[in-house]
Structure 1
Amino acid sequence: MTAGIDLGRPQVQVIAGDEDVVRVRQLVRTVAVAAKLSLVDQTKLVTAASELARNTLVYGGGGSAEVAVFEDGRRRGVRIVFADEGPGIADLDLALTDGYTTGGGLGLGLSGARRLVDEFDIDTAVGRGTRITATKWSR
């Protein structure tokens, strides 16, 4: 148990407002520390999670983040699944291109988050929403 969190079970944070993006960051940091990720890897994961939580709120209309310590038999890491029931991503290749944005940002959100983690998967369809799974492994 770390700070009231049962690391044996996935932790779910609803994303419905700006304060929830902050809560996702805090939860990811707590779980990353408990999973013994290095400080650099903790920072990369929290940065990616912050961007993905913001996208879930802004583009997906809100949703959730599920954070869990994950083991594959040889290594331990942190896996985060962001899910929303928003409009989905019409052109995934374009959305993953550096510099592309439908908002006012730099267009580094999805592509930047993808570079910060070890595994990155997007399941999306127009009208069905988006599910992004990001994993950072301990070194």
Structure 2
Amino acid sequence: MNIQSCVEVVKEWDIVAARQLGRNVAKDIGFGNVDQARITTAVSELARNIYLYAGTGRICIYPIEEIGKRGLVISSIDNGPGIKDIKRVMEDGYSTSGGLGAGLPGVKRLMDEFDLRSKEGEGTEITAKKWLR
């Protein structure tokens, strides 16, 4: 599977489709059940953020190889309002939706690499990587 797979996130049901895609790609690459659950949780959180805050966007998940390492990338891209205060959003417990606030800090903890770029009025792009052990 060397092809990038994406789910357009427009309605709430698309979060489920993104989760399933994450689990399938993780399983195909060879991740165990625990890492599949971590990946699925991260995908779910990123897709939910698109749905709640941006309205529309996409989640892309694809395998990667770098210098003897194999893993996957989750890319979350939207053209929403952007994140005004990235530092605050990355604080544990911070929530704008009244949720538990595990959000983006949780995604960062679940994955091995995490990069967030956002520009007010233009949108947000998050890239997260998980490596096979």
TM range, normalised to the smaller chain? over 0.9
How many residue pairs align between the two structures?
Answer: 133
TM-score (normalised: structure 2): 0.97
Matched with 2:19 is 25
Shift of 1:12: 1.2
Cα RMSD, aligned residues only: 0.7
What amino acid maps onto 2:99 in structure 1? G
Matched with 1:75 is 69
2:43 to 38, 49, 52: 49
Distance 1:100 1:12 in 2: 28
Map 1:1-139 → 2, pairs under 5 A: 7-139=1-133
Q: What stretches of structure 1 of length at least 5 have no aligned partner?
A: 1-6
Shift of 1:73: 2.3
**Is the partner of 1:90 in helix, strand or coil?**
coil
Distance 1:57 1:71 in 2: 30
Q: What stretches of structure 2 of length at least 5 have no aligned partner?
A: none
Shift of 1:23: 0.3
